[in-house]
Chains A and B, each alone.
Chain A
Amino acid sequence: MEFGPMTAWGGGAFWRKSRTCVLSTRVSSVRALILLVVLLSACASKAPASLTPRTVPVWQANEVVVALTALEEAAIGFNREQICDEAGTCRAMLSDAYTRVVLEAAKDAVQTIRQTPAGWAAVGAAAIERIEMRLGAAGLTRLQPYIMAVRLVLSNLGAA
């Protein structure tokens, strides 16, 4: 059985129409797993009891970094996969330009969070806003579940 990654999110109408576009179940499973990990991470919003108030922001910062990494990997995965129309013209599911937007924003955010972990909330939110502003409709459609997952992580960790 083969189907596109978007079917997992209920957005695979175009995908199902195209006979030439086939991805393995493994690819969509990996993406679903990444999303699940991020969502599970979002549920774990309470820091371990062994941490001091000084270290709790570091733990929270780490959760945000993991979520941003999942977003990076999703963007790269969509960029790697080709989508073809019935005329046989193929293009990346996420363009190089949009992938660059995601990776540059996420990398900048992670670098800042590493230097100042206490600023995870503002930095993480700013990165997501930057990505949403610069992504076109096609890019947003592809990455919406992952962007939502990062927002959920930020929200559950206590970001305003």
Chain B
Amino acid sequence: MAVSDAELVQEVLDGSKDAYAELVCRYERPAKAAAIHILGNYHSAEDAAQDAFVKAYQQLHRLSSPDAFGSWLLTITRRCALDVARKKKSDVPLDSIAQMPAHQRNGHLDDEKRQLLDGLMRLGESERQVLLLRYFGGHTVQQVADITGRSVGTITKQLSRAHQNLRNRIKE
């Protein structure tokens, strides 16, 4: 059984760094995905995600609801990604990346994946979180339920609804 986010957060607040390493492993790819959505570039996104994890650790005592760690971290990640984007204003504009030939897009997602990621990031908070944990975190439905503290039935319904909403958003 996977340890819930809330339990890990409490362990970190009790002084355990290993518990935070576990949270970093759990949310590494979801955080990178959130940063790629804003920055469009994998390498910059990695820096932003790392900044976000460090900031989240330093401010962890301010998190009023420990079971909301995932969505709180993603909010911090988006803020960090926007900071990185502001600092790199002189870099290649993001809009122009889509116009680049495939071989020039080193570290960038192709159009189809960008569209999918865009749809994913525009989903509601709980739907987005279950999709990120399920696909980017590579967790089973049972593990997602344990991590979020929701029932397996709720997660199954949210996944199904998220798939449907994502499909609708991509069609638009």
Chains A and B form a bound pair? no
Binding site for B on A (CB under 8 A): none
Binding site for A on B (CB under 8 A): none
